[in-house]
Amino acid sequence: MRVLVLGNGAREHALTHKFAQSRRISALYVAPGNAGTDEIATNLQDVNPTDTTAVVRACRDNRVNMVFIGGEEPSAAGVANALEQEGIACIGPGLQSTRLESSKAFAKEFMERNSIPTASARTFTSYTDFEKHIRKCRKRVVLKKSGLAAGKGVLESTDTDEMLEFGRTVLESDSLVVEEHLAGYEVSVFALTDGVSYTLLPSCADYKKAHEGSTGPNTGGMGAVCPVPWLEADAWNRICSEVVEPTFSALRAEELSYIGVLYFGIMVTEDGPKVLEFNVRFGDPEAQVLLPLVKCDFGSLCEAMVQRKLAEFPIEISGKSAVGVVIAAAGYPGSYKTGVAVEQLPARDGVFVFHAATARKSGKVVTGGGRCFTVVGMGREHLDALNAAYAAVPEVKFRGAWCRKDIGGKIFGA
Ligand code: AMP
Ligand code: GLY
């Protein structure tokens, strides 16, 4: 197979790393890729992954016969639909199914229609109605911009003025979902699906807040663990039977099934699991801890998905644990510099360093984003993985590099 991965983040580096190990792959491309993917695949750095025409042309030019879409933007731009028309296999949803992620209002209605447990919510399009609701609401709520917002569309606040201001801004261009605040702890659950059946991967958790003790602003994710040591078997079983199974039945019934990844963002509450969000892709940084634990040939697994033979595929997952620590640029999640020279990166057994948006300038790796690397430690037990990751973290050297010091510790609910 000749494979193209779309994206340039650490998630896409982890995907590329998996494909590079596969015996089924004869050519491997990444668009646009980063300095990490460049070492194991061919970067098509001029191809914009959200430009459907450019992606199709790149596939034709390089005789690519399978595309793996990393993030949500190419899916929301219709890349999977364009590839389908060309007869090129694609792992990633078409426009209809992408709405599960790209419209929180759509996802909420889908869950309500199908009795999938989630926070109760109301969607607003008018500021006057929203203001009335907020002023009389006695319960704690969370505000969400309906459309894609790259992790910046949610406000968790108890300050009425701040909520009204956020709502006013969102309503200028989008609808606004106001939902009940849920207490508990969060887990990320990933299912691979071939549109007919699905396979669940081990549980993950991501550390969304910028600072230790889950304080500070939301980020794209400062670290992740897989599997989640504090997720009990009973809670996992309830997630499978009360959330995952009904969701896939509903997707089939509503003809929204697709070939790809379905990500359930779940709050485990005292009343059981409730869906916070759906995403139609792997999480970042969850992919960086999850993918190294996939033991079977990843190319063959993906081939089974596009041939709709996932149910027959003997997926093999390592019994090890993984902990991933994100190394961020000074200033992130506020403004930060890019193009900072990276002086050193770790090279240790049992540790992976996945790049995000890095480039190579005059032979040196330079940073290109706010979250620059994910350092992933692996081990027999969770603590071994945690120690392996943090032992390697100081070996990532560039000016201003920082990370959370408590990744791997239990995330307590609000
Ligand atoms: P979302 O993009 O919907 O997953 O929201 C981003 C983050 O906001 C989640 O990962 C949670 O940490 C938080 N969040 C979202 N919805 C709720 C809710 N209903 N109750 C509590 N926290 C929430
Ligand atoms: N880790 C959160 C996300 O990928 O949306």
pLDDT value of residue 414:
42
Identify the DSSP state of 271: T
- Please give the Cα distance from 259 to 197 (Å, whole number): 10
Identify the residue whose tokens are 């392996």.
388
DSSP letters along 323-382, please? EEEEEE-TTTTS-----PBEEE----TTEEEEESS-EEETTEEE--SSEEEEEEEEESSH
The alpha carbon of 47 and the centre of ligand 1 are apart by a number of angstroms equal to 33
Report how many domains make up the chain: 4
Asked if the structure places residue 32 within a domain, the reply is: yes
Pick from 312, 334, 359: which residue ends a domain?
312
pLDDT digits 0-9 by tens, 79-119: 999 999 999 999 999 999 999 999 999 999 999 999 999 99
pLDDT digits 0-9 by tens, 249-281: 999 999 999 999 999 999 999 999 999 999 999
pLDDT digits 0-9 by tens, 344-357: 999 999 899 999 99
Asked if the structure places residue 18 within a domain, the reply is: yes
Average pLDDT of the chain to the nearest whole number: 96
pLDDT value of residue 412:
60
Asked if the structure places residue 390 within a domain, the reply is: yes
pLDDT value of residue 246:
98
Pair (274, 220) in one structural domain: yes
The alpha carbon of 61 and the centre of ligand 2 are apart by a number of angstroms equal to 32
Look up the pTM and report it: 0.95
Compute the 3-state secondary structure of the chain and give helix, strand, coil in percent, each to the nearest 5: 30, 30, 40
Closest ligand 2 atom to 281 CA: 4
Pair (257, 279) in one structural domain: yes
Closest ligand 1 atom to 104 CA: 3
pLDDT value of residue 286:
98
Asked if the structure places residue 109 within a domain, the reply is: no
Pair (43, 146) in one structural domain: no
Identify the DSSP state of 62: T
Pocket flag, ligand 2, residue 206 (CB < 6 Å):
yes
pLDDT digits 0-9 by tens, 284-333: 999 999 999 999 999 999 999 999 999 999 999 999 999 999 999 999 99
pLDDT value of residue 150:
73
Question: In this prediction, what percent of the chain has a pLDDT beyond 70?
Answer: 99
Pair (191, 217) in one structural domain: yes
Identify the DSSP state of 310: G
Pair (80, 163) in one structural domain: no
Asked if the structure places residue 191 within a domain, the reply is: yes
Identify the residue whose tokens are 């990933």.
190
pLDDT digits 0-9 by tens, 194-221: 999 999 999 999 999 999 998 998 898 9
Asked if the structure places residue 263 within a domain, the reply is: yes
- Please give the Cα distance from 115 to 245 (Å, whole number): 12
- Please report, for the domain that includes residue 155, its CATH number: 3.30.1490.20
Pair (304, 190) in one structural domain: yes
Asked if the structure places residue 232 within a domain, the reply is: yes
Would you say residue 151 has pLDDT above 80?
no
Pair (161, 230) in one structural domain: no
Would you say residue 413 has pLDDT above 80?
no
Asked if the structure places residue 217 within a domain, the reply is: yes
pLDDT value of residue 157:
86
Domain that includes residue 166, residue range: 120-180
Structure tokens at 322: 């993984």
Pocket flag, ligand 2, residue 324 (CB < 6 Å):
no
Residues pairing with 121 in the sheet = 179
Under 8 Å between Cβ of 14 and 354: yes
